[in-house]
């Protein structure tokens, strides 16, 4: 999960990656409705995207409309291997929880259904740029269920076992802060943050930052993207 950015630049540069030509132009028209967003490049695949990143100063990448989820995930993995802090937003017609989980595990910062409205997409771009996990609220319950995390009106009992410091760290994790950023924010060492995270994972019976972040989302400690 990428470090949180507290400020948005006057002009945010966007790279669009999609194998569909018409989708590229449609996304450009939507993105550039916002005068502070500028599409600086297009790419049909990961190789072209990496080349475009070398030539532009793209600050957010949109990966969209892949018909094969494995190709989409592979594209994200390639991008994140080269640019680990680069925000990647996926737009896909496939919102099955295992596919969403695979994309997030590959390093995607957000995931939008293909039926997203223009305003929703624009908000999502700013959300992932800030380093915040972005999911439409309707996706979260199924994803939690897929991960084996209860999504009911009741809190996970293990949450009561978290110390005040562990709760603080979980909130910061869900908001996109890196271990180093959490350490700086809370005036503790990175090693201490990592120790607390190990305790959090054990208490919540999860194995990744994404799973822990989703629990924080469910509890209302961090917010998913709401449908407009």
Residues near 123 by Cβ (< 8 Å), separated by ≥ 6? 225
Model pLDDT, residue 7: 62
C-alpha distance from residue 43 to each of 14, 19, 46, 51, 61 (Å): 11, 7, 8, 9, 10
pLDDT (tens place) for every residue of the chain, 228 residues total: 444 555 667 789 999 999 888 888 999 999 999 999 999 999 999 999 999 999 998 999 999 988 888 889 999 999 999 998 899 999 998 888 888 888 888 889 889 999 989 999 999 999 889 877 788 877 877 787 777 665 444 455 578 889 999 999 998 887 767 788 889 999 999 999 999 999 998 888 877 777 787 788 777 776 554 443
Was domain 151-218 assigned CATH 1.10.10.10? Answer: yes
Model pLDDT, residue 226: 45
Model pLDDT, residue 210: 75
CATH architecture, range 12-136? 3-Layer(aba) Sandwich (3.40)
Task: Give the distance, in angstroms, between the CA of residue 20 and the centroid of all CA atoms in the same chain.
Answer: 23
* Tokens 């009106």 sit on residue: 153
Report the DSSP pairing between strands 110-113 and 134-135: parallel
Global pTM reads: 0.73
Say if 12-136 and 151-218 have the same CATH topology: no
**Domain residue limits, the chain:** 12-136, 151-218
């Amino acid at each position: 999960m990428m470090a949180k950015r507290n400020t948005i630049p006057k002009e945010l540069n966007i790279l669009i990656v999609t194998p569909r030509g018409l989708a590229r132009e449609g996304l450009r028209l939507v993105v550039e409705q916002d005068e502070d967003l500028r599409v600086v490049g297009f790419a049909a695949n990961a190789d072209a995207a990496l080349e475009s990143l070398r030539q532009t100063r793209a600050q957010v990448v949109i990966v969209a409309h892949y018909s094969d989820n494995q190709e989409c995930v592979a594209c994200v993995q390639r991008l994140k291997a080269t640019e680990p802090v680069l925000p990647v937003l996926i737009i896909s017609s496939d919102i099955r929880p295992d596919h969403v989980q695979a994309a997030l595990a590959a390093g995607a910062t957000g995931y939008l259904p293909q039926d997203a409205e223009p305003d929703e997409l624009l908000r999502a771009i700013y959300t992932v740029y800030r380093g915040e996990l972005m999911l439409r609220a309707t996706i979260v319950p199924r994803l939690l269920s897929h991960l084996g995390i209860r999504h009911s009106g009741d809190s996970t009992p293990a949450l009561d076992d978290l110390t005040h410091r562990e709760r603080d760290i979980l909130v910061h994790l869900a908001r996109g802060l890196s271990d180093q950023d959490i350490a700086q924010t809370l005036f503790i060492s990175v090693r201490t943050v990592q120790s607390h995270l190990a305790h959090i994972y054990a208490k919540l019976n999860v194995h990744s930052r994404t799973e822990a972040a989703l629990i924080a989302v469910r509890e209302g400690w961090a917010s998913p993207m709401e449908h407009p």
